[in-house]
Structure 1
Amino acid sequence: METRLKQQDTDTRRVCGKVKWFDPVKGFGFVLSDEGGPDILLHANVLRNFGQSSVADAARIEIAVQRTDRGVQAVEVYRIDPPEDMTGLPLADFEEIDPEVIRSAPLQPARVKWFDKGKGFGFANVFGKPDDIFLHVEVLRRSGLSELQPGEALAVRIIEGKRGLMATEVGAWESALSK
């Protein structure tokens, strides 16, 4: 019996676009290229290699794509920017805090304790510290994410809020190591 390998184009190219949708439960989603053309499959494994388990709908994304016999697929993520419409008014919890205090807070490596998208919040812990850090779903969206998984490593910018420690920004954990 002869085994045939599926032919695929090994040439990759960089593409910028917008996330059409991504479902972490299904493990995939699609990107719309700025150049037009067919939807680009974004698999959860490619996103995980970038250090994230989800991405917000309408987030700007820069990826490497490859044409396969099943269509165009993302093979690497280079950059994710939050959706453009998320830069509006600050969250109520941050209204009375000096924006410079928020911007100057360092990014710290943390791990998700739990997150419930339906409830709209969850908690994380900075490595080596027992304190819980509140994670609001709006902060995730403004950071270009849509959901977090328990145990997921990430970077958080933390401030002391009205109700305790709160994340003001969330990103790939590697960004906490380089800043």
Structure 2
Amino acid sequence: MAKRVRGHIKWFSPEEHFGSIRPDDGSPDILVFLNNFRGTVDPYALRRGNAVEYRVERTPGGQRAVDVVLLRTEAMIQRVRGHIKWFSYEKRYGFIQRDDGLADVFVHLDDLRDAADSHRLAQGDVVEFRVEQTPRGPRATDVVVLRSAVTDERVTGRIKWFNHSKRYGFIQRDDGLPDVFVHISDLRDPADAYWVAEGDLVEFRVVQSPKGPKTVDVVLLPRD
């Protein structure tokens, strides 16, 4: 019977369904595909550092791991809940305040399970995630938005004024409701930060922040 080897996931793409394993014995990294795992495995559960056990199969294209078993531990499979404490679209990252009272966790836009959520992540969103320990500290991965603090309705309006040095301004809404605060980091396209000006037509969503309503996912529309 072929010898079984232990190692850990070096990287894995849940969208492409493949990645690589770094063997514990110091031998070269080995290719692994999702269909090489034993049983049904959630591709989003395959994170860097997950311990695995497998057999090595030689193919015309090189070696690959087969009959792979994910050596799950409670720490690996546990999902945590919290809410977005703050998030910057300009920087593409923010922090999550955990419900269990432990330290806030870094979150990057690329860590969202559903790419569609990348245009609506906002302060106050309730999220569920896994925690990955990195050299820089804990990081949220496989983040799922459970309840959005942002309204689904998109609103239009015009930039009433905007101060580039202070990086914020206000939008006059077309629906007649009070003006709403906008920060430069709320622009969907960071390049628009150089062009936004008084009178620009914009479309956006509104989120309730501790200081009142503010915009998120702001898109500049073609000028008149």
TM interval, shorter chain, is 0.3 to 0.5
- Of structures 1 and 2, the larger Rg is shown by 2
Which structure features the higher share of helix residues? 1
TM-score for both structures, normalised by structure 1: 0.44
Provide TM-score, normalisation by structure 2. Answer: 0.37
The structure with more strand, counted as a fraction of residues: 2
